[in-house]
């Protein structure tokens, strides 16, 4: 059955309502099973030995004493994980990150692992492993690593994206450039110019659940992996390739996920757990400590960004230029490339240029964090935009409205926009009561815009109708933000039945075709499209069964509000048949009724948001208090508005923490000094006001219901909105995130 994914105007009965979340009771009562809640008979405890040095050659590892300790069933080093990547540089980096081979590249890099009968024995075994290191100079700051004389981290890295190709290795793995027009000529015409350099520090996603898995490899080569992940199909592919297994022999089951935000899109310890199980011949459970999560799983990039923007007297931006340096850990990445693409995406620009540099540092391998790379670029650009608006003499909102991208605008990173929501979000903010509320002493208001691409990708879904008329929907996109409820609403909408009759489950990798990772805000967008397709395939079968039951041509049967309806003069008086009635007779009309769909979901539709923030700053201590915060964002179509609001609020809360408190702090020895929630401070309830939300719905023309992804855009504006509020409160432009009290006081004193 051909599936038309284009938007069609329609009224909804289920979509847009707010039913109770299906996983809520289990989660609040403790019945939900997260990664560390799964156990297998005879399982061993896995533990990993990690480097205490930021950069060191591994001269020798002696595991004999650990292996001889009673209760130890397996000891693992890089020698047990041979290179099977066949020249795939990206996969080799994953392998090396899971278990250091020649060098330890950061504080916390795995160098050995054990599996023992209990945690005490495993911990004791780690102490018996003797590692001989040769210390090397290290560099953890992105600007210092960018310098030509910086300690070299990887002598196989030669900068790509430059011509001619360099003949010497460096810490810059890639240069990327985007834009159009003549920036230099445009800047020469500008009446007003703002030029600034901004810095942001490295942050962690801050998920409460640590990485955890249980791995079991059988003697026949088949294996099971239970794991907290955002993409169990991708985990299967990576783990199988790294261990030399057939992917079909590895079944991966995703647990409930206690937060991911991009940090659980990469394998960190899972291949190690599988290798330990294969060597020991027993299941192995491996759970990271909080210290390990911070030291050895992927945080964001730290950045250093130069921005220069010029405008005419009438407020038209005539030229925009940015150079972005993003840290990517000790392995090549593409984080600055994404930052360069998103930096000026909110604006209609005649002359624009962005250049991104990926910079290696002796820190953990960088991972995604909710619209990865975009918040840092938006902080720099939106801060400069605010300053330029004041120079021109315009209200910051009116200045942005004048220059906002619109349908038909050529984006700064290349494509031409279709229907987009940046203009409507700005107009909504301009008219919002928040913008008209009075401010008190030492208080400031800031606003900022943000953009994210949104992704689609490979998606597979099964919809099965039981003989009692209930529906089971099996999807392969991990539920990280409420997608099970949303997809149940979509299935109910298409079939014309009540939401309570649908149950959505996340299928394991052996039960469903391949699905891409739940990232890029693709979960509800792509799986709802596949669900609609599967439901329509099921409806075709339901119509055929009804026609058979009535003994009339299927062309004379339509589907309306959960019922088969006979049409035509000869049999239009036949009573309707409900889905439940047709399902009950399925055993005598041809067997089970199901709908299946496999698609590559295209046209995800870009997303925009505008945020407002009020902040109070104590000029004596530099302490800040967020007084009020408002999010306005385009959802395309809010399938479950409560979940959409939750995504808006969650992104804003994380962005506020990033802007004011959160950062990785490294000592001169290259070791992380605040690897725990006591010293790495994420916001708690008392730090935040109730975050107000306003949902706009500018339909995505490439989705039957007009849906756009919403999960990531909401973290993009907060860094800049908070920075603009603080800058307005203290009268000094803040250039360094997070704006901790010492940095605010230093800015005031300077």
Distance CA 446, CA 630 (A): 11
In this model, does residue 300 exceed pLDDT 90?
Answer: yes
Task: Say if residue 305 is in the same domain as residue 274.
Answer: no
Task: Say if residue 571 is in the same domain as residue 658.
Answer: no
- Residue 330 token pair: 């000790």
Output the pLDDT for position 570.
83
User: Residue 156 domain-assigned?
Assistant: no
Least confident of 110-119, 562-571, 585-594: 562-571
User: Residue 630 domain-assigned?
Assistant: yes
Output the pLDDT for position 106.
98
CATH number of the domain residue 85 falls in? 3.90.1170.50
Output the pLDDT for position 2.
72
Distance CA 437, CA 293 (A): 42
Task: Say if residue 460 is in the same domain as residue 448.
Answer: no
| Residues written for the chain | 750
Q: Are 63 and 79 in contact (CB under 8 A)?
A: no
User: Residue 703 domain-assigned?
Assistant: yes
Output the pLDDT for position 21.
87
Distance CA 242, CA 98 (A): 10
Distance CA 34, CA 208 (A): 11
The pLDDT tens digits of the residues spanning 72-110 come to: 999 999 999 999 999 999 999 999 999 999 999 999 999
In this model, does residue 512 exceed pLDDT 60?
Answer: yes
Mean pLDDT across 585-597:
98
pLDDT band at 569 (very low <50, low <70, confident <90, very high): confident
Mean pLDDT across 564-585:
93
Mean pLDDT across 349-368:
98
Q: Are 281 and 182 in contact (CB under 8 A)?
A: no
In this model, does residue 571 exceed pLDDT 90?
Answer: no
User: What is the sign of the dihedral through the CA atoms of 356, 153, 103 and 662?
Assistant: negative
Question: Per-residue DSSP letters for 135-152?
Answer: E------HHHHHSTTSPP
Give SS3 for 610. Answer: strand
Average pLDDT, the chain: 97
Tell me which of 599, 633, 652 is where a domain ends: 599
pLDDT band at 573 (very low <50, low <70, confident <90, very high): confident
User: What is the sign of the dihedral through the CA atoms of 225, 226, 232 and 233?
Assistant: positive
The pLDDT tens digits of the residues spanning 178-203 come to: 999 999 999 999 999 999 999 999 99
Task: Say if residue 591 is in the same domain as residue 539.
Answer: yes
Output the pLDDT for position 177.
98
Task: Say if residue 271 is in the same domain as residue 324.
Answer: no
Residue 351, domain extent: 301-453+604-747
494 closest CA partner among 532, 540, 542, 544 = 532
Task: Say if residue 315 is in the same domain as residue 289.
Answer: no
Mean pLDDT across 416-443:
98
Output the pLDDT for position 750.
87
The pLDDT tens digits of the residues spanning 223-241 come to: 999 999 999 999 999 999 9
Say which residues have a Cβ less than 8 Å from residue 727's Cβ, sequence separation at least 6: 383, 386, 444, 446, 733, 734
Task: Say if residue 527 is in the same domain as residue 489.
Answer: yes
Distance CA 280, CA 282 (A): 5
Task: Say if residue 633 is in the same domain as residue 725.
Answer: yes
CATH number of the domain residue 353 falls in? 3.30.365.10
Split into its structural domains, the chain has a count of: 3
Output the pLDDT for position 705.
98
pLDDT band at 287 (very low <50, low <70, confident <90, very high): very high
- Residue 686 token pair: 């008392």
The pLDDT tens digits of the residues spanning 363-409 come to: 999 999 999 999 999 999 999 999 999 999 999 999 999 999 999 99
The pLDDT tens digits of the residues spanning 451-478 come to: 999 999 999 999 999 999 999 999 999 9
The pLDDT tens digits of the residues spanning 245-256 come to: 999 999 999 999
User: Residue 37 domain-assigned?
Assistant: no
Tell me which of 599, 628, 656 is where a domain ends: 599
Task: Say if residue 309 is in the same domain as residue 447.
Answer: yes
Question: Per-residue DSSP letters for 540-567?
Answer: HHHHHHHHHHHTS-GGGEEEETTEEEE-
Q: Are 198 and 267 in contact (CB under 8 A)?
A: no
Task: Say if residue 470 is in the same domain as residue 577.
Answer: yes
Mean pLDDT across 721-735:
98
Distance CA 37, CA 26 (A): 13
Task: Say if residue 506 is in the same domain as residue 594.
Answer: yes
Output the pLDDT for position 558.
97
Say which residues have a Cβ less than 8 Å from residue 283's Cβ, sequence separation at least 6: 40, 41, 42, 43, 44, 214, 215, 216, 277
- CA–CA distance from 688 to each of 91, 440, 574, 691 (Å)? 41, 18, 60, 8
Distance CA 728, CA 721 (A): 11
In this model, does residue 737 exceed pLDDT 80?
Answer: yes
Output the pLDDT for position 441.
97
In this model, does residue 627 exceed pLDDT 80?
Answer: yes
Report percent pLDDT > 90 for the chain.
98
Output the pLDDT for position 664.
98
Can you tell me which residue has the tokens 């199901």?
A: 594
Tell me which of 555, 575, 599 is where a domain ends: 599
User: Residue 172 domain-assigned?
Assistant: no
Output the pLDDT for position 572.
76
The pLDDT tens digits of the residues spanning 156-175 come to: 999 999 999 999 999 999 99
Helix axis angle, 396-403 to 422-430, nearest 10°: 160
User: Residue 544 domain-assigned?
Assistant: yes
Q: Are 99 and 77 in contact (CB under 8 A)?
A: yes
The pLDDT tens digits of the residues spanning 514-550 come to: 999 999 999 999 999 999 999 999 999 999 999 999 9
pLDDT band at 568 (very low <50, low <70, confident <90, very high): confident
User: Residue 58 domain-assigned?
Assistant: yes
pLDDT band at 699 (very low <50, low <70, confident <90, very high): very high
Output the pLDDT for position 624.
98
DSSP 365: P
Task: Say if residue 441 is in the same domain as residue 518.
Answer: no
């Amino acid at each position: 059955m051909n599936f038309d994914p284009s938007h069609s105007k329609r009224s909804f009965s289920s979509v847009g309502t707010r039913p109770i979340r299906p996983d809520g009771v289990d989660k609040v009562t403790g019945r939900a099973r997260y990664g560390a809640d799964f156990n297998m008979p005879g399982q061993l405890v896995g533990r990993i030995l990690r480097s205490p040095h930021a950069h060191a050659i591994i001269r020798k590892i002696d595991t004999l004493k650990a292996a001889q300790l009673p209760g130890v069933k397996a000891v693992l080093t890089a020698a047990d994980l041979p290179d099977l990547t066949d020249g795939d540089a990206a996969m080799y980096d994953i392998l090396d990150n899971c278990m250091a081979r020649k060098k330890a590249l950061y504080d916390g890099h795995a160098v050995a692992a054990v599996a023992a009968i209990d945690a005490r024995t495993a911990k004791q075994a780690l102490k018996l492993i003797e590692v001989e290191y040769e210390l090397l100079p290290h560099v953890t700051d992105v600007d210092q690593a960018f310098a030509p004389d910086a300690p070299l981290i990887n002598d196989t890295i030669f900068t790509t994206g430059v011509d001619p190709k360099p003949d010497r290795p460096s810490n810059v793995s890639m240069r990327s450039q985007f834009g159009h027009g003549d920036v230099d000529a445009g800047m020469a015409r500008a009446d007003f110019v703002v030029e600034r350099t901004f810095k942001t520090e490295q942050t962690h996603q801050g998920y409460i659940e640590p990485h955890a898995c249980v791995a079991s490899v059988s003697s026949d080569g088949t294996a099971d992996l239970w794991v907290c992940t955002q993409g169990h199909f991708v985990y299967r592919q990576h783990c199988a390739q790294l261990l030399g297994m057939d992917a079909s022999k590895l079944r991966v089951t995703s647990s409930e996920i206690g937060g991911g935000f991009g940090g659980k899109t990469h394998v960190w310890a899972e291949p190690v757990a599988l290798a330990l199980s294969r060597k020991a011949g027993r299941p192995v459970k491996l759970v990271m400590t909080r210290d390990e999560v911070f030291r050895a799983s992927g945080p964001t990039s730290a950045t250093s960004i130069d921005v220069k923007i010029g405008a005419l007297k009438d407020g038209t931006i005539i030229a925009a230029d940015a150079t972005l340096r993003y840290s990517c850990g000790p392995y090549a990445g593409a984080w600055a490339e994404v930052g360069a693409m998103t930096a000026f995406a909110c604006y209609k620009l005649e002359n624009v240029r962005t250049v991104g540099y990926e910079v290696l540092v002796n820190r953990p391998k960088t991972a995604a964090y909710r619209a990865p790379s975009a918040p840092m670029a938006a902080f720099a650009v939106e801060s400069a935009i605010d300053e330029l608006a004041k120079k021109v003499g315009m209200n910051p909102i009116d200045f942005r409205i004048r220059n906002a991208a619109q349908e038909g605008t050529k984006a700064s990173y290349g494509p031409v926009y279709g229907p987009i929501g940046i203009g409507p979000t700005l107009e909504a903010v301009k008219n919002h009561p928040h913008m008209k509320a009075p401010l008190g002493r030492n208080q400031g208001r800031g606003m900022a815009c943000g953009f994210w691409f949104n992704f689609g990708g490979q998606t597979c879904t099964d919809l099965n109708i039981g003989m009692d008329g209930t529906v089971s929907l099996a999807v392969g996109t991990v539920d990280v933000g409420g997608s099970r409820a949303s997809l149940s609403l979509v299935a109910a909408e298409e079939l014309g039945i009540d939401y309570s009759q649908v149950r959505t489950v996340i299928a394991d990798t052996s039960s469903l075709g391949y699905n891409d990772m739940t990232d890029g805000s693709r979960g509800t967008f792509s799986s709802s499209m596949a669900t609609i397709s599967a439901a329509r395939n099921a409806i075709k079968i339901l119509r055929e069964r009804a026609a058979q039951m009535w003994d009339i041509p299927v062309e004379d049967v339509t589907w309306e509000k959960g019922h088969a309806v006979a049409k035509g003069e000869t049999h239009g008086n036949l009573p309707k048949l409900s889905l439940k009635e047709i399902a009950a007779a399925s055993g005598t009309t041809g067997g089970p009724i199901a709908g299946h769909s496999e698609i590559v979901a295209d046209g995800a539709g870009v997303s925009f948001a505008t945020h407002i923030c009020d902040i109070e700053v104590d000029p004596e201590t530099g302490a800040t208090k967020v007084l009020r915060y408002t999010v306005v964002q385009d959802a395309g179509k809010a399938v479950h508005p409560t979940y959409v609001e939750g995504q808006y609020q969650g992104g804003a809360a994380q962005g506020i923490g990033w802007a004011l408190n959160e950062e990785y702090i490294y000592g001169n020895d290259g070791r992380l000094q605040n690897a725990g929630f006591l010293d790495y401070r994420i916001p708690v309830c008392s730090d935040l006001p109730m975050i107000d939300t306003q949902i706009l719905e500018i339909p995505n023309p490439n989705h039957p219901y007009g849906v756009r992804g919403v999960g990531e855009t909401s973290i993009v504006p907060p860094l800049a909105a908070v920075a603009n509020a603080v800058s307005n409160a203290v009268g000094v432009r803040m250039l360094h995130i997070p704006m901790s009290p010492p940095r605010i006081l230093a800015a005031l004193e300077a």
